[in-house]
Amino acid sequence: MKSMTIETRNTKRPKAIYAIFGLTLLTAVRAQTLFFFSSLRMNGGSNPDEWFIPWITDSILGLMIPFILYLILKGKGIKIWAFLILYSAIGAFDYLTGLATQWFHPMSSETAGSELVYSSLLFSFIVQTIVLLLLFKQRVINYYLRDLKS
């Protein structure tokens, strides 16, 4: 029976941590959705009100980016690792929600063309999914659990 051991000697950051940092930084643009709320129909704009929830989630996740980036580089422990997984999973799900919302309730062309919306959401979903997968690499797990004794 194979047991999982945690490296405690090597605290050097694996390259995957920098990839996670950079890819997560790419998703910071989601905070721009704060400026879209005035374009909802309920506020006199031309965008369907169904975008309200995806934009709320985007705004919250986007505003959390500085904190998340700090945790990626400086955080340690199983709770931080699990929190980063949760953040990335919610982020990926949010991009899928945006794709579904665009399909059923397209954003007005005044805000953005359909091709731009679909391509940016799909690209961002892929980025967020890659981050999620990288968080499960053994070296990344070892990095976040580096101070635990096996």
In tens digits, the chain (150 residues) has pLDDT values of: 455 554 444 568 999 999 999 999 999 999 999 999 999 999 999 999 999 999 999 999 999 999 999 999 999 999 999 999 999 999 999 999 999 999 999 999 988 999 999 999 999 999 999 999 999 999 999 999 987 655
Whether residue 17 contacts residue 141, with contact meaning beta carbons closer than 8 Å, is answered with no
Distance CA 64, CA 25 (A): 11
* Residue 146: predicted pLDDT: 83
Tell me the β-bridge partners of 47: 40
Residues present in the chain in total: 150
What pLDDT does residue 76 have? 93
Q: What angle separates helix 15-26 from helix 65-74, to the nearest 10 degrees? A: 180
Find out whether 140 and 134 touch, Cβ atoms under 8 Å.
yes
**Which residue ranges make up each domain of the chain?**
15-35+45-144
Q: For residue 37, give both structure tokens.
A: 């709320």
Q: Identify the pLDDT of residue 11.
A: 60
* pTM score: 0.87
Q: What is the pLDDT of residue 7?
A: 46
